[in-house]
Amino acid sequence: MNSHPPNKLTALEKRWLQYARALISDVDHKRECERLGGASELGPKRQRRPSQNLDINLRWPGYIGAGYEAATKRILCIGQVHFGKMLAATLGHIEPTLCELVKVDAANEVKMFAILQTIRAGYQRALKTWGPWSNRNNGFQKILQQKYGAEHIAYVNLARCWQTPTDTSMKAVIKACLATHPISDLTKAIKPDLLLIRCGMSYLDYATSGIVWANTHFGNWAGVECIRFDAKREDPATIEAIRKSI
Ligand SMILES: [Zn+2]
């Protein structure tokens, strides 16, 4: 039984909020993202893009589900990048909360808890509508099935800025995001037992650089057990093998 009061922050939740705050308020990283074509209305060739109705100053931290901390296995699901149009439509409404997180006095636990709840509820709802979660063949949901719902996992994207799918700058931006805000910062904060990475093979080099893998799909990253699979090309047998291993 978890005896922690339901409206108080746990130590893990405090560390996650700290990580999110540092990410959102990192001005240098913001500049680097924009230079590479992320979180801006300019594509990689500096073409003006249609507005995504998103605040270009914000970065997206992902979330920790309400049931993550107490789960039998703490799973951090890792996707590639937030797509601007989808993000605006499904999660744009939490932008004021992300802005508030940077400004609020961290000692104000009531406020910090409310902020965490808004981010978590927003992401949990939005994630279920996103392909990486709901794809019938190789979405996270397919692998986690009934064992873990969106509320039982933590989620983050390799790139913490949003992009437009037709841009070709994803690799560069993912690389820049990981260089400044490595996933290991997050794993230190929320101590997952398993990282489940879903991304295109061409991005795996960036996702896994410096890591020694036991084989193609199973290995470890930042000292944490890790399974990676291809967002586009993974075959059903591999997905099934991964599902059974969890
Ligand atoms: Zn970035």
Instruction: Determine the distance separating the centroid of ligand 1 and the alpha carbon of 173, expressed in angstroms.
Output: 6
Model confidence at 149: pLDDT above 90: yes
CA distance 63 to 21: 12
Confidence band, pLDDT 50/70/90 cuts, at residue 1 = very low
Model confidence at 154: pLDDT above 50: yes
Instruction: Determine the distance separating the centroid of ligand 1 and the alpha carbon of 212, expressed in angstroms.
Output: 25
Task: Tell me which of 215 and 133 has the higher pLDDT.
Answer: 133
Q: Domain spans of the chain?
A: 11-245
* 89-to-52, 85, 148 alpha-carbon distances in Å: 9, 6, 25
Instruction: Determine the distance separating the centroid of ligand 1 and the alpha carbon of 179, expressed in angstroms.
Output: 9
So what's the pLDDT on residue 180?
86
**Averaged over 13-30, what is the pLDDT?**
91
* 71-to-39, 198, 244 alpha-carbon distances in Å: 33, 21, 18
Kindly report the pTM of this predicted structure.
0.90
Instruction: Determine the distance separating the centroid of ligand 1 and the alpha carbon of 32, expressed in angstroms.
Output: 7
Confidence band, pLDDT 50/70/90 cuts, at residue 206 = low
81 close to 162: Cβ distance less than 8 angstroms: yes
What pLDDT digit, counting tens, does each position of 72-93 carry? 999 999 998 888 888 989 999 9
CA distance 8 to 14: 10
Q: What percent of the chain has pLDDT over 70?
A: 84
Instruction: Determine the distance separating the centroid of ligand 1 and the alpha carbon of 235, expressed in angstroms.
Output: 30
Instruction: Determine the distance separating the centroid of ligand 1 and the alpha carbon of 181, expressed in angstroms.
Output: 8
38 close to 80: Cβ distance less than 8 angstroms: no
> What average pLDDT is seen over the chain?
84
Instruction: Determine the distance separating the centroid of ligand 1 and the alpha carbon of 117, expressed in angstroms.
Output: 24
Instruction: Determine the distance separating the centroid of ligand 1 and the alpha carbon of 238, expressed in angstroms.
Output: 31
120 close to 154: Cβ distance less than 8 angstroms: no
Instruction: Determine the distance separating the centroid of ligand 1 and the alpha carbon of 61, expressed in angstroms.
Output: 10
Exposed (0-12), middle (13-18) or buried (19+): which is 233, by Cβ within 10 Å? exposed
Model confidence at 162: pLDDT above 60: yes
Instruction: Determine the distance separating the centroid of ligand 1 and the alpha carbon of 161, expressed in angstroms.
Output: 5
So what's the pLDDT on residue 196?
93
Instruction: Determine the distance separating the centroid of ligand 1 and the alpha carbon of 28, expressed in angstroms.
Output: 10
Instruction: Determine the distance separating the centroid of ligand 1 and the alpha carbon of 43, expressed in angstroms.
Output: 14
- First-to-last C-alpha distance (Å) of the chain: 23
**Averaged over 108-127, what is the pLDDT?**
96
Instruction: Determine the distance separating the centroid of ligand 1 and the alpha carbon of 127, expressed in angstroms.
Output: 20
84 close to 54: Cβ distance less than 8 angstroms: yes
Q: In the 3-class helix/strand/coil scheme, how is the chain assigned residue by residue?
A: CCCCCCCCCCHHHHHHHHHHHHHHCCHHHHHHHHHCCCCCCECCCCCECCCCCCCCCCCCCCEECCCCCCCCCCEEEEECCEEHHHHHHHHHHHHHHHHHHHHCCCCCHHHHHHHHHHHHHHHHHHHCCCHHHHCCCCCHHHHHCCCCCHHHCEEEECCCCEECCCCCCHHHHHHHHHHHCCHHHHHHHHCCCEEEEEECHHHHHHHHCCCCECCCCEEEECCEEEEEEECCCCCHHHHHHHHHHC
What pLDDT digit, counting tens, does each position of 96-113 carry? 999 999 999 999 999 999
Task: Tell me which of 159 and 14 has the higher pLDDT.
Answer: 14
CA distance 232 to 204: 12
Model confidence at 4: pLDDT above 60: yes
Confidence band, pLDDT 50/70/90 cuts, at residue 34 = confident
Phi and psi, residue 204, nearest 5° = -65, -30
Instruction: Determine the distance separating the centroid of ligand 1 and the alpha carbon of 104, expressed in angstroms.
Output: 23
Instruction: Determine the distance separating the centroid of ligand 1 and the alpha carbon of 172, expressed in angstroms.
Output: 10
Does CATH number 3.30.70 belong to domain 11-245?
A: no
**Averaged over 188-206, what is the pLDDT?**
82
Instruction: Determine the distance separating the centroid of ligand 1 and the alpha carbon of 244, expressed in angstroms.
Output: 33
Instruction: Determine the distance separating the centroid of ligand 1 and the alpha carbon of 176, expressed in angstroms.
Output: 6
**Averaged over 40-47, what is the pLDDT?**
56
So what's the pLDDT on residue 190?
98
